[in-house]
Chain A
Amino acid sequence: MAVSGILLVLFLVAHMAGNLHVFEGRASMNEYAHGLRTFGEPLLPHESLLWVLRIGLIAAAAVHIWTAVVLTRRALAARPVRYASKKPAKGESRHAAATMRWGAAVVFLFIIWHLLDLTFRTVNPVKDVPDAYGAVVATFSPERWPVTVFYLLALLALFFHLRHGIWSAVQTIAGPNSKWRKRTQAIGLAVALIVVLGFAIVPLSVTFGLVK
């Protein structure tokens, strides 16, 4: 859970940073997208970097989901009779229990939509694969506002997921002392904010006409 989660966070940071090319204009964004496909050529085959990333991501996501299912099943078995009276959570990660599993479901559904939209272009008006810029502008256009709203909702779920997930992964792998645990929690919150805001700025800029 922790190791696969950290790998996925590293991917998110790289993906978020790459998305910001959209602010440099159509040529720069499409050149970046083209660069991802042709990285290492002619020494390496076409799309070799992309395939390494794809296989790594699929493996990390599979391990992440599988370990989550194992943990959830153990948790359900460990409390066969529920409490009659509920209490508000008051632990250090008090939002975790309420947001991790439901948030994960939202993020999972979002990823399916996201792949159909911007990778396979099944539901995107721009079918021309090299025109990444055009696809982004088309999908977040103001009249397709539900797409943007769903994107932002998924980001909200991702924010809560990362805010707990990052420090929880460090706690599992490294086991910091109290001082470093507090620092890890602060770093987790900062990374979650940076990643989510970095992703959110793209669809918002398109919807509000800053990127055309």
Chain B
Amino acid sequence: MKLSLRIWRQSDAQAQGKMVSYEIDEVSEDASFLEMLDVLNERLISEGEDPVAFDHDCREGICGACSLVIDGQPHGPQAATTTCQLHMRKFKDGDSIDIEPWRAGAFPVIKDLVVDRSAFDRIIQAGGYISAPTGTAPDAHAVPIPKQDADAAFSAAACIGCGACVAACPNGSGMLFMGAKVTHLGLMPQGQPERHTRVLGMVAAHDEAGFGGCTNTGECAAACPKEIGLDVIGKLNRDFRKAAIRAA
């Protein structure tokens, strides 16, 4: 395959970035999107140019490191797929592809396509944890949990914290991410002691980081590679209302 790429190049956090065009030849349609960028980078290095910086780690769709907006869509055109699991057979020979970083004030660009997502870490620090006794781990079946709660918590726990929800949101809001954490922990008996302080703390950290407010457009859920649905935002709103009334 022959492709025309337009990639966001920005030498460091302070620099002014711009879209730069690259032509790339003989791309295998069995290559993943990241492997296609690897091929481009090998060429750039051999030509003495600075390779394109992009985040990646496991390359098997579970780490949440990859973060490319491909043709305006976080993780590209294929639903429920991370960038590393997107393959070039989804594109056509001769296609031109735009590649940009997540765009959010709370996720500043570090270099090229790499953004700083520590705002998510601060949200987790503000409430994404449980109190657990130290010592030997209890038996997994020691605490009975209704099957539907366990299933819903597991679906929410599938969130890999990639930030595609923020990248897709027209308001740059992190509500789907927070909702996933609040649902995952709030449905479990182990998550109850911090249930109310968790949601208040997370929302405060979210707003403090400069994420936008949710207007329920649903773009986050459509972009989520783990198919986390808007019901987690409903759960977040419900818990927030209860916690805010209790705190008042």
B235 on the interface (CB 8 Å rule)? yes
Within 8 A of B (CB), among A62-96: 70-71, 74-75, 77-87, 89-94, 96
User: Are B172 and A177 neighbours in the complex by a CB distance under 8 Å?
Assistant: no
Which residue of chain B has the shortest Cβ distance to A180 in the bound complex? B234
| Among candidates B71, B104, B106, B235, residue contacting A85 with C-beta atoms closer than 8 Å | B71
Chain B: residues with Cβ within 8 Å of the partner, total of 42
| Among candidates B172, B173, B229, B239, residue contacting A178 with C-beta atoms closer than 8 Å | B229
B237 on the interface (CB 8 Å rule)? yes
22 pairs, A vs B, C-beta closer than 8 Å: A71-B212, A71-B213, A75-B170, A78-B171, A78-B172, A78-B210, A79-B212, A83-B72, A85-B69, A86-B72, A89-B170, A89-B217, A90-B222, A91-B217, A91-B218, A92-B230, A94-B218, A96-B216, A97-B217, A168-B215, A171-B233, A175-B233
On chain A, the residues within 8 Å of B211 by CB distance are 78
Bound-state Cα–Cα, A180 to B69, Å: 32
B35 on the interface (CB 8 Å rule)? no
A52 on the interface (CB 8 Å rule)? no
Q: How far is the CB of A45 from chain B (nearest CB, A)?
A: 36
On chain A, the residues within 8 Å of B220 by CB distance are 91
Q: A92-B230, A171-B233, A175-B237 are in contact. Are A83 and B103 (CB under 8 A)?
A: yes
User: Are B210 and A85 neighbours in the complex by a CB distance under 8 Å?
Assistant: no
On chain A, the residues within 8 Å of B82 by CB distance are none
| Among candidates A75, A84, A91, A181, residue contacting B8 with C-beta atoms closer than 8 Å | A84
| Among candidates A74, A84, A168, A173, residue contacting B212 with C-beta atoms closer than 8 Å | A74
User: Are A173 and B241 neighbours in the complex by a CB distance under 8 Å?
Assistant: yes
User: Are A80 and B105 neighbours in the complex by a CB distance under 8 Å?
Assistant: yes
On chain B, the residues within 8 Å of A100 by CB distance are 215
B194 on the interface (CB 8 Å rule)? no
On chain A, the residues within 8 Å of B235 by CB distance are 175, 177
Q: A94-B218, A167-B216 are in contact. Are A87 and B72 (CB under 8 A)?
A: yes
A174 on the interface (CB 8 Å rule)? yes
Which residue of chain A has the shortest Cβ distance to B238 in the bound complex? A175
User: Are A83 and B100 neighbours in the complex by a CB distance under 8 Å?
Assistant: yes
B73 on the interface (CB 8 Å rule)? yes
User: Are A84 and B100 neighbours in the complex by a CB distance under 8 Å?
Assistant: yes
Other than the known A78-B172, A82-B103, A181-B231, what 4 A-B pairs have Cβ atoms closer than 8 Å? A77-B210, A78-B210, A83-B100, A84-B100
User: Are B216 and A81 neighbours in the complex by a CB distance under 8 Å?
Assistant: no
User: Are A164 and B216 neighbours in the complex by a CB distance under 8 Å?
Assistant: yes
User: Are B215 and A96 neighbours in the complex by a CB distance under 8 Å?
Assistant: yes
Contact pattern, B 71-115, Cβ under 8 Å of A = 1, otherwise 0: 111000000000000000000000000101001111000000000
B221 on the interface (CB 8 Å rule)? yes
A176 on the interface (CB 8 Å rule)? yes
Chain A: residues with Cβ within 8 Å of the partner, total of 36
Bound-state Cα–Cα, A84 to B6, Å: 10
User: Are A90 and B219 neighbours in the complex by a CB distance under 8 Å?
Assistant: yes
Which residue of chain A has the shortest Cβ distance to B8 in the bound complex? A84
On chain A, the residues within 8 Å of B73 by CB distance are 87
Within 8 A of A (CB), among B232-248: 233-239, 241
User: Are A75 and B216 neighbours in the complex by a CB distance under 8 Å?
Assistant: no
| Among candidates B168, B212, B230, residue contacting A75 with C-beta atoms closer than 8 Å | B212
User: Are B234 and A181 neighbours in the complex by a CB distance under 8 Å?
Assistant: yes
On chain B, the residues within 8 Å of A80 by CB distance are 105
On chain B, the residues within 8 Å of A74 by CB distance are 171, 212-213
Which residue of chain B has the shortest Cβ distance to A176 in the bound complex? B234
| Among candidates B172, B233, B239, residue contacting A79 with C-beta atoms closer than 8 Å | B172
A78, A84, A94 pick with most chain B CB within 10 angstroms: A78
A172 on the interface (CB 8 Å rule)? yes
User: Are A79 and B105 neighbours in the complex by a CB distance under 8 Å?
Assistant: yes
Bound-state Cα–Cα, A26 to B61, Å: 69
Q: How far is the CB of B114 from chain A (nearest CB, A)?
A: 15
On chain A, the residues within 8 Å of B218 by CB distance are 91-94, 96
Q: A71-B171, A171-B230, A171-B237 are in contact. Are A89 and B215 (CB under 8 A)?
A: no
User: Are A78 and B231 neighbours in the complex by a CB distance under 8 Å?
Assistant: no
User: Are B234 and A177 neighbours in the complex by a CB distance under 8 Å?
Assistant: yes
Q: A84-B6, A171-B233, A181-B230 are in contact. Are A79 and B238 (CB under 8 A)?
A: no
